[in-house]
């Protein structure tokens, strides 16, 4: 084990340890996921847990939540040994985990979700009024009003997250784990979430906060724990860590720049869209992307960025407008037409739209490439495996074998499989919709290097991103959307600021 042992945050004594995990080992067939990992969480502390995809963070949390039994190691809560063999054991021990994909029943109300499985009754009748009153008290405790009787499917993502937090508090949880809680929130919603977390900390609740967004780590955490390749690398007070030092611990090597932008020769217009419209979501949008150019399309959530990408890719039907590639007007009625014409889309939600999770990574790779992989109606399996193998090597996709189900891969490796299948389809226009959402710093860096390679080949890149540092770091030109329209263009990206982009984004 490298680095320091887990020490309590400054000002807290060792007796204030709320949770201690010691020497946690966990192996799966062919994979040793955790190697003697130690974690300490103190009373009233926010501990950031960081590391690359596949570092072991999720496995460690699943051990804590009772989803996995460790092969070796011990867990102590408030200094007392705790045997957590199931999620029920975790609940009884005061542990709650709020996953990025919420564990809510959409058709049930917020109140019903909070008390699901623990319904309050008297003489066989449910006590709805008592549940309503308790739910209101829980929402008051976190300082956010949510209608307890509203179906969860009608709530915003931020409100659903509040329901999850209220459910955890209703269980008297003293240890709350939050897995990528800000991934789909707006800036204002993130600020509200941070205020809630700080309030939980003041109530002596310990929070383990998992995020790939380093700015959040430095804003929120008391300490940061780094994992790599299933091992605990170091735990440090946040004031003793620099951004560069944290990245180096996470990836195991020095990265000179988070955004390794390499200029490429910019040529003629390749993709040209004129007056694209679809209802109120996309209104009269026109722009072009040139050979060797990265054009970033940014704006607030709901501005119409993803909807614009779906129109170009044929996933949605245009009300009006035209799409041209290399001076030729295209008739794109569906994604098949877009793929045939050399346009690909890496969707924002890779799990729901970019992959068939139950299929192997090899089968996912082959899906858009069957014309070049078949002969006489049969798939040429050797060619399929050889071609995919080359991309596994060049993109450094971490898989035990090509038959591994896509659902078993980390987020970064899932993204690389999606990239591989589109690169093999010989696309000339590559649309990245939130290409680095939910993936680690090292995988982000590799995707940025890949973008550099694509533009060096003369391809046209449209990059949709909510991450303003990413936009400023990788784009040649920035387009900003607001309420379905393009409200501004920034050509001199080197001189641009986040404030300038946000002024355009708010209209």
Convert the pLDDT of each residue in 366-375 to its tens digit: 988 888 888 8
> Could you tell me the sign of the dihedral formed by the alpha carbons of 376, 381, 383, 387, in that order?
positive
Encoding tokens for residue 43?
């009373």
Residue 200 has pLDDT above 80, yes or no: yes
pLDDT given at position 126: 60
Could you tell me which residues come within 8 angstroms of residue 372 by beta carbon, excluding any fewer than 6 positions away? 424
Pairing of strands 429-433, 343-346: parallel
Mean pLDDT computed over 80-95: 94
What is the separation of C-alpha 64 from the centre of its chain, rounded to a whole number of angstroms?
21
Distance in angstroms (rounded) separating the CA atoms of residues 412 and 52: 8
Nearest to 264 by CA among 289, 242, 246, 281: 289
The conformation of residue 48, written as its DSSP 8-state character, comes to E
Res 31: pLDDT: 80
pLDDT at 120 over 70: no
- pLDDT of residue 157 exceeding 90: no
Domains 1-94+174-254 and 269-342+427-505 share a fold: yes
Rounded-to-integer distance, Cα 291 and Cα 270, Å: 6
**Ranges of each domain in the chain:** 1-94+174-254, 110-171, 269-342+427-505
Whether the predicted pLDDT of 355 surpasses 70 = yes
Is CATH 3.40.50.300 what the domain over 1-94+174-254 is classified as, yes or no?
yes
Above pLDDT 70, what percent of the chain? Answer: 95
pLDDT single digits (tens) 218-235: 999 999 999 998 999 999
Mean pLDDT of the chain: 88
What does the pLDDT read at residue 4?
A: 36
Express each pLDDT in 487-507 by its tens digit: 999 999 999 999 999 889 887
Q: Which of 261-270, 331-340, 429-438 has the lowest mean pLDDT?
A: 429-438
Listed in order, strand segments (DSSP E) in 103-193 are: 121-122, 125-126, 175-179
E strands along 349-414, which residues? 374-375, 378-379
Structure tokens at 432: 């990245």
What pLDDT is stored for residue 494 in this prediction? 93
Spatial CA neighbour of 229 closest among 479, 59, 100? 59
pLDDT(3) > 50: no
User: Which of the four pLDDT bands, split at 50, 70 and 90, describes residue 276?
Assistant: very high
Considering only the top CATH level, what class is 269-342+427-505?
alpha beta
* pLDDT value at residue 122: 59
């Amino acid at each position: 084990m490298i680095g320091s042992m887990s020490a309590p945050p400054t000002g807290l004594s060792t007796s204030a340890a709320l949770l201690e995990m010691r020497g946690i080992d966990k192996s799966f067939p062919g994979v040793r996921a955790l190697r003697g990992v130690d974690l300490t969480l103190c009373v009233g502390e926010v501990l950031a847990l960081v590391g690359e995809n596949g570092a072991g963070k999720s496995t460690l949390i699943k051990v804590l939540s009772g989803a996995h039994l460790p092969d070796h190691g011990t867990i102590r809560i408030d200094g007392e040994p705790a045997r957590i063999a199931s999620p029920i054991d975790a609940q009884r021990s005061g542990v709650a985990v709020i996953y990025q994909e919420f564990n809510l029943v959409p058709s049930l109300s917020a109140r019903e979700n909070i008390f699901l499985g623990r319904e309050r009754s008297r003489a066989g009748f449910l006590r709805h009024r008592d549940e309503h009153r308790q739910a209101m008290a829980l929402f008051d405790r976190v300082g956010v009003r949510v209608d307890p009787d509203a179906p969860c499917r009608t709530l915003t993502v931020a409100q659903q997250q509040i329901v999850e937090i209220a459910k955890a508090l209703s269980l008297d949880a003293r240890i709350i784990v939050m897995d990528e809680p800000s991934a789909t929130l707006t800036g204002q919603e993130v600020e509200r979430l941070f205020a809630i977390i700080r309030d939980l900390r003041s109530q002596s609740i310990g929070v383990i906060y998992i995020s790939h967004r380093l700015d959040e780590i430095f804003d929120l955490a008391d300490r940061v724990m780094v994992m790599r390749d299933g091992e605990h690398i170091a735990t440090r007070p946040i004031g003793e860590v620099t951004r560069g030092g944290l990245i180096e611990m996470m990836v195991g090597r020095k990265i000179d720049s988070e955004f390794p932008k390499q200029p490429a020769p910019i040529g003629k217009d390749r993709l040209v869209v004129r007056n694209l419209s679809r209802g109120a979501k996309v209104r009269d949008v026109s722009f072009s992307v040139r050979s060797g150019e990265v054009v970033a399309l940014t704006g607030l959530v709901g501005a119409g960025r993803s909807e614009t990408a779906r129109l170009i890719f044929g996933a949605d039907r245009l009300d009006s407008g035209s799409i041209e590639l290399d001076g030729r007007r295209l008739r794109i009625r569906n994604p098949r037409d877009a793929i045939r014409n050399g346009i690909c889309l890496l969707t924002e939600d890779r799990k729901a739209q970019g992959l068939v999770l139950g299929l192997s990574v090899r089968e996912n790779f082959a899906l858009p490439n069957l014309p070049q992989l078949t002969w006489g109606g049969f798939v040429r399996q050797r060619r399929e495996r050889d071609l995919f193998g080359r991309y596994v090597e060049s993109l450094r996709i971490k898989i035990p074998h090509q038959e591994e189900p896509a659902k078993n891969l980390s987020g970064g490796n899932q993204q690389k499989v999606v990239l591989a299948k589109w690169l093999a389809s010989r696309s000339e226009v590559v649309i990245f919709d939130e290409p680095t959402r939910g993936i680690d710093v090292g995988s982000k860096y590799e995707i940025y290097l890949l973008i550099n390679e694509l533009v060096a080949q003369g391809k046209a890149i449209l990059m949709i991103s909510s991450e303003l540092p990413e936009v400023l770091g990788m784009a040649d030109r920035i387009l900003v959307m607001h309420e379905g329209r393009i409200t501004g263009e920034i050509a001199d990206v080197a001189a641009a600021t986040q404030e300038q982009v946000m002024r355009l984004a708010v209209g």
